[in-house]
Amino acid sequence: MAYTLPKLPYAYNALEPYIDAKTMEIHHTKHHAGYVTKLNNALQKHAEWHDKSVEELLGHLSQIPEEVRSAVRNNGGGHANHTLFWQCMTPFPIKSVPNGSLAAAIDKEFGSFEQFQKAFNQAALTQFGSGWAWLIITSSHELAITSTPNQDSPLLKGHQPIFGLDVWEHAYYLHYQNRRAEYVDQWWNVVNWEFIEERFGKLIG
Ligand code: MN
């Protein structure tokens, strides 16, 4: 079964002024759509993999036929990363910080939400070139901040992404140009903590 581009849960202009409509539209209809098309193309001759979820593909990359392994890593990663990214944002955030078990886990690991945010921003700013900053549950069940280059998913290393921030220039350049720090700061205004808390709850079971 073919992978498909998910619909955005809000309009392209819904995240303004923090993320502009043009950026959202190109990001979704060109970049994300491109990853989906290329992932489908790569697996066209490998029907046995086409039935797997994209998370399964990324979690078993070494078993993917070598001739399409890089294509699956890049485009499967791009598909999974963006699908999560859209859900982690909302035009109507009803809270600016997490509560509950996620808040407790963040405080325990990082000292406070402010310290966590500072460390996450640092990961986003120091990722050289294109990539992502992440909050993950590591393969040894610890909460951690990490970054990945290109479209690499934390799943490649057996980590579970809780949420991620896209720091490719395509995610911010039209509005923020080279000012990645400003984009990262403003992005917190549209984070969907409700969704992320729920996801965290499911991941830790
Ligand atoms: Mn992107």
Residue with tokens 């849960």: 9
Decide: helix, strand or coil at residue 70.
Answer: helix
**Ligand 1: centre distance to CA 108 (Å):** 31
> Consecutive 10-residue runs of the chain (205 residues): their mean pLDDT?
94 98 98 98 92 96 97 98 98 95 98 98 97 97 97 98 98 97 98 98 93
Q: Is the peptide bond before 17 cis (omega within 30 degrees of 0)?
A: yes
**Ligand 1: centre distance to CA 29 (Å):** 11
pTM, 2 dp:
0.97
Helix (H) or strand (E) holding 199: helix 193-204
**Ligand 1: centre distance to CA 27 (Å):** 6
